[in-house]
């Protein structure tokens, strides 16, 4: 690693801006986009990496067609793969996620935190509010709305029910750790600690590792903005050949399946909400139509670009999410929510060592059925969220970046889960069991029904899910297009439109080919191999930062 760069430096190649100020460029003859196929047909320009784009497109299209043509067989395969991973690889997911958290916290307090993404003199491309809005909309959106009520309530119910053992001596309950049989307050604290565990430091550390690795190797080292660049310290120039092609193709698959899981969950919740409010039905036809309409809106946003599309939609989403959150806080048990927020954080840190323990777990249903799914889902999302965060984070210091990406969203997620979870648990403790018995995608709306102006807040909830859907599809298309365009961030927009349509098609295929179980299985399967990529990223990021001027 050599070639100091200053303000007068030219970009190493088209597609990624040159560093501003001192930075340690990697000395390579590779030019970004040099292996791309460029053409213009019928007024439509294309600029794509032949191998990565073609292989990814063919395999993904084949998957969609087979899932639609053979739904029963697809469901069997999905379930078998998920069950094997849950049974055999839970320890690997838990151990890996712990490594990511420790590394991020270590970098925050280390001298390496002073390094600036994009060169010593780089300035942020976006205001802090716009930047944070895009981070949050891309990273958590649909999941917080979908699971904000159901997960705290589910863990509370399981914990207060205690431990149940089957005839084979294995636990049949879904309680976290040892549960809290017959103790509602202890069950609430344990249930909220388990919920925060799934939505706090660990998932955001996963995103941060990918994002920071990509940002440093692209904006400071001059390499393409693709996942293969993270492997340069290990593979050297071989990263531009088939080893790199394989890594980028794997990143495309992980991103598409992680996105499809979120889009499928969002479509199910939006359809259930529309049926609940307006009686429009929530069958497969409605789901397919909903995905088609929202995908079309996402395509319009894709054409508008990051500044006009993703940025504006993300800001709208933040306003809607904040309004709904404040409504739930002030109309619900306000003082209890505020006091629970602090007690929940305390419970989280108390239970964190046991919840994150990868070995000797007795709560198999919880650790395999909940934690493994979440860790795999976050990891399969990480190329998409990480690359998107990298794209919009140029100009931030490593310390500022990690605090903003890791700590602040964790606190916000905790407050969100506390507000919605406290309302749901309080309703159950007061004798209303409607939320518990409601379908998973309906729990939010049934909880809101017990509060004033339910029709308005439920409608806001539906809009929130839809806009999160659009921003996820939009930014996901941007990221996949960057990978399949050889790392160029200024590739033609028709390619992004193609991937936006493909994301919707995969969500439809998975929903029709097995529903929620298929979505979860695809996400878990895609997340396993990409965990290895993230572990390599841990080594690469330290290596890359240590060579940077501070």
Give per-residue pLDDT as tens, 281-318.
667 888 888 888 888 888 887 777 655 666 677 778 78
Tokens of 341: 């927020």
Helix count and strand count (H, E) for the chain: 22, 4
For the chain, the 3-state helix, strand and coil shares in percent, each to the nearest 5, are 75, 5, 25
At 397 the three-state DSSP class reads strand
120-124, 430-434, 449-453, 522-526: lowest mean pLDDT where?
Answer: 522-526
**Is residue 204 a contact partner of residue 405, using CB atoms and an 8 Å limit?**
yes
| Cα separation, 457 vs 123, whole angstroms | 39
pLDDT for the residue numbered 13: 37
Q: DSSP states of 512-524 as a string?
A: HTTHHHHHHHHHH
| pLDDT above 80 for 270 | yes
**For helices 242-278 and 493-512, angle between their N-to-C axes, nearest 10 degrees:** 60
CB atoms within 10 A of CB 21: 15
| Cα separation, 148 vs 520, whole angstroms | 18
| pLDDT above 90 for 66 | no
**Is residue 507 a contact partner of residue 264, using CB atoms and an 8 Å limit?**
yes
pLDDT for the residue numbered 402: 94
Mean pLDDT (the chain, rounded) = 85
**Is residue 499 a contact partner of residue 303, using CB atoms and an 8 Å limit?**
no
| Cα separation, 85 vs 528, whole angstroms | 8
Higher pLDDT, 28 or 136: 28
* Span 232-255, average pLDDT: 89
pLDDT band at 139 (very low <50, low <70, confident <90, very high): low
| pLDDT above 60 for 43 | yes
pLDDT for the residue numbered 23: 77
Burial class (CB in 10 A: 0-12, 13-18, 19+), 547: middle
| pLDDT above 70 for 141 | no
CA dihedral 509, 511, 514, 516 (to 10 degrees): 140
| Cα separation, 17 vs 10, whole angstroms | 9
Higher pLDDT, 505 or 516: 505
**Is residue 388 a contact partner of residue 139, using CB atoms and an 8 Å limit?**
no
304 CA to centre of own chain: 23
Give the CA count within 13 Å in the CB-facing half-sphere of 269. 34
Q: Which helix (H) or strand (E) holds 4?
A: strand 4-5
**Is residue 547 a contact partner of residue 24, using CB atoms and an 8 Å limit?**
yes
Do β-strands 4-5 and 23-24 pair in parallel, antiparallel, or remain unpaired?
antiparallel
| Cα separation, 463 vs 360, whole angstroms | 43
* Span 328-340, average pLDDT: 95
Percent of the chain past pLDDT 70, that is, above it, reads 93
For residue 389, give the nearest of 476, 499, 295 by alpha carbon. Answer: 476
Give the CA count within 13 Å in the CB-facing half-sphere of 277. 21
Burial class (CB in 10 A: 0-12, 13-18, 19+), 237: exposed
Q: The pTM is what?
A: 0.87
| Cα separation, 511 vs 517, whole angstroms | 9
Give per-residue pLDDT as tens, 435-452.
999 988 899 999 999 999
| Cα separation, 137 vs 385, whole angstroms | 10
Q: DSSP states of 48-77 as a string?
A: EEHHHHHHHHHHHHHHHHHHHH-HHHHHHH
Q: Which helix (H) or strand (E) holds 428?
A: helix 408-429
Angle at 416 between CA 411 and CA 420, to 5 degrees: 150
Q: Is the torsion defined by CA of 194, 196, 198, 202 positive or negative?
A: negative
pLDDT band at 137 (very low <50, low <70, confident <90, very high): low
At 360 the three-state DSSP class reads coil
Q: Which residues pair with 165 in a beta bridge?
A: 171
| pLDDT above 50 for 158 | yes
pLDDT for the residue numbered 277: 86
Strand stretches in 9-162, DSSP E: 23-24, 36-41, 44-49
pLDDT for the residue numbered 363: 92
Identity of the highest mean pLDDT range in 41-50, 116-125, 257-266 = 116-125
Q: Is the torsion defined by CA of 85, 90, 95, 97 positive or negative?
A: positive
For residue 485, give the nearest of 8, 115, 51, 123 by alpha carbon. Answer: 51
SS (H, E, C) 81-149: HHHHHHHHCHHHHHHHHHHHHHHHHHHHHCHHHHCECCCCCCCCCCCHHHHHHHHHHHHCHHHHHHHCC
* Span 194-201, average pLDDT: 95
Q: Which helix (H) or strand (E) holds 242?
A: helix 242-278
| Cα separation, 366 vs 155, whole angstroms | 9
């Amino acid at each position: 690693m050599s070639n100091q760069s200053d303000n007068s430096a030219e970009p190493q190649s088209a597609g990624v801006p040159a560093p501003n100020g001192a930075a340690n460029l990697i000395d390579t003859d590779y030019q970004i986009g040099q292996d791309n196929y460029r053409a213009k047909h019928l007024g439509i320009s294309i600029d794509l990496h032949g191998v990565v784009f073609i292989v990814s497109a063919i395999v993904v299209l084949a998957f969609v067609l087979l899932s639609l043509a053979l739904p029963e067989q697809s469901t069997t395969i999905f379930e078998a793969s998920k069950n094997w991973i849950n049974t055999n690889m839970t320890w690997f997911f838990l151990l890996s996620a712990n490594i990511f958290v420790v590394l991020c916290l270590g970098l925050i307090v280390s001298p390496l935190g002073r390094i600036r993404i994009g060169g010593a003199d780089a300035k942020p491309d976006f205001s802090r509010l716009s930047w944070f809005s895009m981070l949050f909309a891309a990273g958590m959106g649909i999941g917080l709305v979908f699971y904000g009520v159901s997960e705290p309530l589910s863990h509370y119910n399981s914990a207060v029910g205690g431990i149940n053992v089957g005839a084979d001596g294995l636990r049949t309950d879904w309680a976290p750790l040892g549960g809290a049989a017959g103790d509602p307050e202890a069950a609430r604290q344990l249930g909220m600690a388990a919920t925060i565990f799934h939505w706090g430091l660990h998932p955001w550390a996963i995103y941060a590792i990918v994002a920071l690795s990509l940002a440093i190797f692209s904006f400071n080292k001059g390499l393409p903005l693709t996942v293969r660049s993270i492997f340069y310290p290990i593979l050297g120039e071989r990263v531009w050949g088939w080893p790199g092609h394989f890594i980028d193709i794997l990143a495309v698959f992980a991103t598409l399946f992680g996105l499809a899981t979120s889009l499928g969950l969002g479509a199910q919740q939006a359809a259930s909400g529309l049926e609940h409010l307006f009686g429009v039905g929530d069958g497969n036809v409605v789901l397919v139509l909903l995905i088609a309409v929202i995908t079309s809106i996402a395509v319009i946003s894709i054409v508008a670009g990051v500044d006009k599309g993703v940025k504006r939609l993300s800001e709208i989403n933040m306003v809607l999410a904040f309004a709904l959150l404040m409504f739930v806080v002030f109309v619900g048990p306000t003082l209890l929510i505020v006091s629970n927020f602090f007690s929940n954080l305390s419970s989280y840190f108390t239970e964190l060592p046991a919840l994150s323990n990868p070995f000797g777990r007795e709560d198999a249903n919880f650790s395999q059925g909940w934690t493994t799914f979440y860790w795999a889902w976050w990891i399969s999302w990480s190329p998409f969220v990480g690359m998107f965060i990298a794209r919009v984070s140029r100009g931030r210091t490593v310390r500022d970046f990690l605090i903003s990406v890791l700590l602040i969203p964790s606190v916000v997620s905790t407050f969100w889960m506390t507000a919605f979870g406290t309302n749901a648990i309080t309703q159950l403790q007061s004798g209303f069991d409607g939320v518990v018995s409601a379908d998973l995608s309906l729990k939010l709306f049934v909880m809101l029904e017990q509060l004033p102006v339910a029709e308005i807040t439920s409608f806001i909830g539906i809009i929130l899910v839809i806009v999160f859907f659009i921003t996820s599809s939009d930014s996901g298309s941007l990221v996949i297009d960057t990978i399949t365009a050889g790392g160029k961030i200024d590739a033609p927009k028709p390619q992004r439109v193609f991937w936006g349509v493909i994301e919707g098609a995969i969500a439809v295929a998975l929903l029709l080919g097995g529903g929620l179980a298929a979505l979860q299985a695809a996400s878990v399967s895609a997340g396993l191999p990409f965990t290895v990529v993230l572990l390599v990223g841990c080594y690469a990021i330290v290596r890359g930062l240590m060579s940077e001027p501070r």
